[in-house]
Amino acid sequence: MKTNSNIYQVVYAAVMVLVVGTVLAFIYMALKPQQDENIANDKRKQILAAVGINATDADVKQQFEQFIVGERLVDTEGNVTDSAAGCAFDVEMKSNVKLPDGERKLPVYVCKLADGSAKYILPVYGAGLWGPIWGYVSVNSDGSTIFGTNFSHESETPGLGARIEEESFRATFQNKQLYKDGEYKGVEVVKKGQKPTTDGADYVDAISGATITSRGVSDMLQNCLGYYQGFFKRLSHGDQSHAD
């Protein structure tokens, strides 16, 4: 076959595409397990950060296994529907929050800190200015008080909306009350000088210059944590089925 013929060039191009495609597919398959593990470890870091544990790449799995002593899926009444290993970790929140109320899964991570105290870590997911935002909120065993938070984002503006990741913002949620006088109020994020939309609710100041992202965090908390009211009530009544 003549090397300068059209047929040769078409066959040559097809062979090269096949070879390159095969090589890329092989590389992808070879690297995918490590990529998946990196993604899982990043998620473990975010979960632990909600209780103030700053794990490193080297020790994140060990830290997670040490402090996360159980996982649960609960329903809106607070009943445990699953407690198998990984049942909470495997829930993909991006799609989960779009499900109808009756089909939505409510993951809970049971944490025991070094001092023996129990914390319950709940995932939240919402929308910021430019894309998705998400995070984890830990509550004390009273089912009412926020112990810690951790927030992340996909593409918020550096120096503005991206500041939801900063400790200075996250720390403002500590010790805020989800319940007031026995009634669920949640916690809102409001512009400085304003009051929350829910009468009597605890609130934190919005990030200056990041009104939409701050509102996104507020809506995320209201939309996600509200589903756990049955779970919170069971904790407040000393229900031990969630303990470990």
| Six-digit token string for 87 | 């049942």
Contact present, 205 and 192 (Cβ < 8 Å): yes
A 10 A CB-CB count for 236 gives: 14
Cβ-based neighbours of 235, under 8 Å, separated by 6 or more: 120, 139, 141, 142, 143, 242
Tokens 């078409």, residue? 10
Cβ-based neighbours of 226, under 8 Å, separated by 6 or more: 184, 186
Q: What is the pLDDT of residue 35?
A: 75
pTM for the structure as a whole: 0.87
pLDDT tens digit at each of 244 positions of the chain: 556 677 767 777 777 877 777 777 777 676 567 677 889 999 999 999 999 999 999 999 999 999 999 999 999 999 999 999 999 999 999 999 999 988 999 999 999 999 999 999 999 999 999 999 999 999 999 999 999 999 999 999 999 999 999 999 999 999 999 999 999 999 999 998 899 999 999 999 999 999 999 999 999 999 999 999 999 999 998 876 666 6
Cα–Cα dist 226/102, whole Å? 14
